[in-house]
Every structure is written in C-alpha cells, then in structure tokens.
Chain A
Amino acid sequence: MADQYYDPKDLRKFGKITEWSEELGTKFFDYYGKVFEEGALTAREKSLIALAVAHTEQCPYCIDAYTKDGLQKGITKEEMMEAVHVGAAIKSGATLVHGVMMMNKVNKLDG
C-alpha cells in the first residue's frame, strides 16, 4: 500500500476498473464517452463544465484530466479560472442559501 491516498499515476489505471466488473465498467465508459461527445453542447463547453465540477467535487484526478483536456481544446487559462469561479460561486451559494433555513427556524422559534 502506498504511503499516500492519491497517486497521479493511478489515473492511468482508471480503465482497469473494468477488470473487476467488466459489464458495469464497460457500461460506465460507454456512457462516459457518449456524454462528452459533441451534442447540443460543444465538447469545449462540456470540458469547462467538467472542470468546474472537478473542483466542486475536489477530485484531483478530474482536475488533472480536465485541465489537460481544456488545454488540448485550446481553452485559455482565463476561461478555466472563470469556470472554477462558477463552481465556487455555486458551492458557496449553496451553503449560503441554507441561511434562509436558519432564518426560518429562528423566526419560528424566537420570532
């Protein structure tokens, strides 16, 4: 067992998850591949969404993969940072909007 939880080299092994469950693994990768194809959204737009979600999920593998994917698609660092801010804004907004719940409760109990 490695002395750290995350190893960048493990990303290369992602495809191997099919070895322990071929049917589900294959279904997942087929689905995954299909999702990122050009559709109503461009592959470029999907890459930026993936990058933003990679950050909100705080997944090091995904950040690694979708930063590289963005560069490959000619996405600029300014665009990438804006996408990360969108993720951060939603994440903090999601926290803050629960403040209404707190306000409701305070008003009910002590209003």
Chain B
Amino acid sequence: MSATKSLKKEGNELAQANKQLEVLSNGIFANGELPTFAKKIRETGQFPLKAKKLEILQINVGYMCNQVCDHCHVDAGPDRKEIMTWETMEQCLEVIRNTGAHTLDLTGGAPEMNPNFRRFVKEASKAGIKDFIVRSNLTIIRANKKYYDLPDFFKEHNVHVISSMPHWTRGKTDKQRGDGVFDKSIKALQELNERGYGLPDSDLRLDLVYNPSGAFLPGDQASMEKDFKKALMEDFGIQFHNLFAITNLPIARFLDYLIASENYEDYMYQLVEAYNPMAVQNVMCTNTLSISWDGYLFDCDFNQMLELPVNGKSQHISEYNEDLLEGRNIVISQHCYGCTAGAGSSCQGTVA
C-alpha cells in the first residue's frame, strides 16, 4: 500500500531536513562502524569534491505531484504547495539564455502541475539548448482532461521525455507508486509512442527511469534495459530508448521507509560496500546545478531536499554567476554514497 500524504503533511519529523541529516550522521557513522562519505573520498584521494564545468541545469519547478510514491526523495504529493512563481521562472529563463550548459532538465513534483509550466517550456525551448528534458511521471498525462494533449505539446517543443517506471509488472509498479499507476503509465507510454516518441530512429527521445521498489540496489543497467524492452514490447507493444537505473538515496520518504522497515543499517552497509571511486569521478553534482522552486542553487536535487545550498557567493538565481560556481566545493553527507555505489547513479543513470 503506497502512501497517501507527504511526510510534511503527516507532521513526520523526517520531513525536516535537519532531522534527516542527523540520522545520516549519527549511529553507524558516528561510532565509526562505517566511514563517513568525506572520510571515504579522502581515502581515495577525491576530497574535496569539486564542481567542473556546468553541463546540466536542473530546475525543480515545484513539489506538487498527483502521485505519492513510497520512495520519493522530494516528499512530493498533492498536498505540497511549493510552486515556482513566474517571476522566478523569468529569472531562470535569463540564466537559460546565457548558460554554457548543454542540457536543461525540468523536474518536480510533477512539473506539468505548475500553472506556468507550458509558458515556461515555450520560452525555454527558444533558447536553443541541445537537450531539453522534462521528467514526466506519465500518469499526469491521464490525470485530467487538461493534460491529455501533453504528448502533442512535448512533441511540438521537441522535449526529451524521461519517465519513471519501477517495473514491467503491474504489482511491483503499483506497490511503489500507487494503485492504478501501472495501467495509466502504460496508456501514456502508448500515446507517446503514437506521436513517435521512443521509436528506434526517432529524434523524439523517450527514456525510462528504473529505481528499486525496496531496500536493495539496482541491478546492471544494460541487463535491466533488455528485460524492460522485451517485456514492454511483448506485453504492450511499447518502445523506448534508454533505461536509466537509479539508486534510491536514503533521504525523505525512502529514509523513512528504511527506518520503519528496519533496513536502514543494512542499506547503508550495501551502499558503502559498493563504493566505487570511478563513480566519484563522474558523479552528477560535478557537472550539474539544481535550482529550487524558490530560486536557490544546490549541487543536486538531493541536496536541495536536504536544504544544503551550494558553497560560495552565488547562492540564488538572482545572483547567478556560472564562473563563480565552477570549482566550488560540493556539499556532501552520507546520502552521497547513493550516487557512488556500484556503477554509480545520477539523473542520467549509471556514471561508471
């Protein structure tokens, strides 16, 4: 049974970033049973982690979502009211027009629920950024009549659609993302395919994101992609381009789940044991910048949720300076192990 309310709405103390950071710094990391992330990257000569040239600008346009997924690191849901204003969007557009980044990545919540989403996409698509991504949860397309034409809208603006799909079976998908999500997602994928999205030679990119439904790490990305492609084609005639396997980071609702199910320590052991210095070299915070709904800058979407702003003088979109941001020291904590385990993990899948 998936959740129906955000942790914030429930009044759960893990909705507070400082409480999450406390959990991640205490216990097995405080008593030395496991090394802190800083200690670990120091051992492999990678401390401090520094930002390289910006490649990906990720903008979170709000935490409101039509779904309440069990693993959500944003703690998103219908009850979240944090939504980016048009004023902040205009500031973002100014940055988008001048950035050296080759990828623009819109996320949420469900970004489409921001009342200015379409206006923003129309303007942003004029900036000529090479890869323009919208992270769509798929079900939003079937949630209400006003969203039915989203596949056409995406196509019109040559948007690259990336969508979550935890499994090719109904049971596992609905368990994580809510009853009925699988059927709606399948319908939405078929509609995207009908517009040409995800077809082998199509320029209309459609990628799927897989993240595990429980307290375990994702398997090999290439094998998972093969299994997903086979099953979705055989069962529903669906095609897509790539599958990104993403590790669940121990924050927000997933952290709450780990603690409640008594899996927290085992999970952290798994992450630390799977630490891969090669993944550290390409970890996404080194080439990505995350902008929150209220315009603050973060090293990644996870740091945004933990309210850990970027180091340096340029901390808000109103004082954005790409030159000042390059070379900054990345803000780290134990959740960072999630991006360096095994083949690594980023919003674009594995990194090593």
Contacts and interface: CB of A to CB of B under 8 A. Distances in A.
Contacts of A43: 220, 223
Interface stretch (A27-35, A72-80, A91-99, A101-109): A72-80
B33 to A, nearest CB: 10
A17 interface: no
Interface residues on A, range: 10 to 19
Q: Chain B contact residues: over half helix, strand or loop, or mixed? A: loop
A68 interface: yes
Contacts of B169: 76
Given A12-B269, A12-B273, A74 B214 contact: no
Contacts of B218: 72
A73 B172 contact: no
Given A12-B273, A43-B223, A72 B217 contact: yes
Interface residues on B, range: 20 to 34
Contacts of B219: 72-74
Contacts of A74: 167-168, 210, 219, 224, 227-228
Contacts of A73: 219-220, 223-224
B349 interface: no
Interface in B225-267: 227-228
A42 interface: yes
B212 A42 contact: no
B134 to A, nearest CB: 26
B216 interface: yes
28 contacts: A12-B269, A12-B273, A38-B223, A42-B223, A44-B223, A44-B227, A71-B212, A71-B213, A71-B214, A71-B216, A72-B212, A72-B216, A72-B218, A72-B219, A73-B219, A73-B220, A73-B223, A73-B224, A74-B167, A74-B168, A74-B210, A74-B219, A74-B224, A74-B227, A74-B228, A76-B169, A76-B171, A76-B172
